[in-house]
Structure 1
Amino acid sequence: MASVARVSGPITWLAVILAVAQVVAPVVPFSGIGASPDESTTDLLITPAGWTFSIWSLIYLLSLVVALAVVWKGSTGTADPRRLLIDLEIAFAGAAVWILVSAAEWTWITPIVLTVMAVVLLDAARIAARPADDAAPGWLRVLTRVLVGIYAAWATAAVFQNWAAAIGADLADPQSLGWQLTVLILCALFGLAVTAVVGSVLVAYPLTLVWAFLGILATAQGETTAVVGVAIGTIVALVVTTGVVFVVRRRGGAVLASG
């Protein structure tokens, strides 16, 4: 496709500032001011193992690198750089706000913040999965797609987990399996639907969901057979769906090229 308009000026530097803000925000709870994220959320039967949350370190690093690259190159590697950048900025700001409201233990605000983040990140995924900006360097397109894929997938898993934690804190029994299994299945179906749409380009999206469900599997193994079954089934379905959409996309591209 043809090259698109560049992005420059305050909007690009705002992305850097907000990327830094989401990195700095965890200092608040970890310095003893308020509750840490694991203390402020309800422990559920479908909560991923603690090691899965290390993915935030990768998200923070990629956010900073992409934000600085946008300042340098004036592009996001996509056909709609301004909108994608605004989506990312809202997500960066949301991540910082989420940490603060989590520290304040505002149970029902945290899932609302994550819902906003998930919406804008899925919009960013839609943009990143479209034909890229030919004038942008290839490495920038790859970086953007990796960041958006990981961040959107983690937000997908996190938004369902946060709503479940809020429900478990105030409305339902956190040790009751039925309603939590329903939430987990809804998360799986939603993630599979998004994978079917963008997974052939944003491979990081299904891979990150696999990571999240591996964490759920690790927690449930030997404890809750139904959760183990759903987690394994979802992982298999994600791998199969990604493979199918990748093959379909390649065949479609080959047909267009030969035509």
Structure 2
Amino acid sequence: MRETTWLKGTVLLAYILVIIMNVVANTLPLFGRTTGAISNQFDALFTPAGITFSIWGLIYLLLGFFVVRFMTYDGSIDRVLFRKTAIWFCVSCVFNIAWLFAWHAVFIVWAMAALFFLTHAIGRLVVLIHESYANGSGFEKTTFTLYLGWVSVATIANVTIWLVSLDLTDPFGRASVIGTAAILLVGAVMAILVNHYLGSLVYGLVFIWAYAGILLKQFERAIPVPWLLVASAVISMALIIGVSLLLRFRKRQTT
């Protein structure tokens, strides 16, 4: 009983700290920079339009509902599973905050490392929920799959920003356009595979949201639109939808 109370309190505190730090990071702002200002400073082709980041509001709202549900735990699930869920959630909160500090301090490599660990922690939660919760896991699975999808996109974006920060090539040159087009296709393949494993379309839909934001960003620029990038994004979105639905249909046919 004491451990359960302690875990509930820790999860609640971790969530509150994440919300506070995200608000402070942009209202203070942290290190004198907003989150979006740093993205604009390293204007990579993979960076989506500002409106795309509104998905964070939905993610944190769903996480808040998850915390409320977690606080009402009555012993109906395995105690070990309860403990693991609490631990990985708290770990994800730690790296969420770590990313904010590294990002706002413009320590791009450290921010990238924090995102890798954050992605791992959320991935562990998704796998844990997918494979362990026999019943009543729909909300939790959707919440953390959505979170995982967006953090996966953020990780890819962070890598492209790191490459831009190295100033190796023109960020809008031919090599950058070809490289980003390839990354979009690789991301689509990853989204399809995760969709198939989880038996859900949520992860892939997050990538479609991000890719739509990338397209919007291209048409907002004052420079000519790189049509190879546009074609790659459109093809990637079509593949995510088409192949994921096909695999889901075939899976249902064989069960």
Give the TM-score of the pair, scaled to structure 2: 0.84
Deviation at 1:67, TM superposition (A): 1.5
* Structure 2 unmatched runs, 5+: none
Number of aligned residue pairs: 240
Distance 1:225-1:20 versus aligned 2 partners, 3 A rule: same
Does 1:216 find its partner at 2:218? no
Distance 1:77-1:39 versus aligned 2 partners, 3 A rule: farther
* Larger deviation, residues 226-235 vs 176-185: 176-185
d(CA) in 1 for partners of 2:250 and 2:123? 22
Does 1:8 find its partner at 2:38? no
Does 1:150 find its partner at 2:146? yes
Q: Is the 8 A contact 1:36 1:103 kept in 2?
A: yes
* Larger deviation, residues 203-212 vs 26-35: 26-35
d(CA) in 1 for partners of 2:159 and 2:77? 33
What SS is found at the alignment partner of 2:48? Answer: coil
Aligned to 1:57: 57
d(CA) in 1 for partners of 2:243 and 2:81? 27
- Equivalence map 1:131-150=2 (5 Å): 132-134=133-135, 138=136, 141-150=137-146
Aligned to 1:239: 241
Q: Is the 8 A contact 1:70 1:76 kept in 2?
A: no
Aligned partner letter, 1:209: F
Deviation at 1:245, TM superposition (A): 3.2
What SS is found at the alignment partner of 1:108? Answer: helix
d(CA) in 2 for partners of 1:46 and 1:76? 44
* Larger deviation, residues 73-82 vs 237-246: 73-82
* Larger deviation, residues 235-244 vs 73-82: 73-82
Distance 1:52-1:70 versus aligned 2 partners, 3 A rule: same
Aligned to 1:94: 95
d(CA) in 1 for partners of 2:82 and 2:248? 25
Distance 1:179-1:66 versus aligned 2 partners, 3 A rule: same
Aligned to 1:256: none
Does 1:169 find its partner at 2:165? yes
Deviation at 1:239, TM superposition (A): 1.0
Aligned partner letter, 1:18: A
Kindly indicate which of the two structures has a greater share of residues assigned to helix: 2
- RMSD of Structure 2 on Structure 1 (CA): 2.4
* Structure 1 unmatched runs, 5+: 1-6, 254-259
d(CA) in 2 for partners of 1:203 and 1:187? 14
Partner deviation per Cα, 1:138-166 (whole Å, 9 max, x = no partner): 3xx22201211100100111101001101
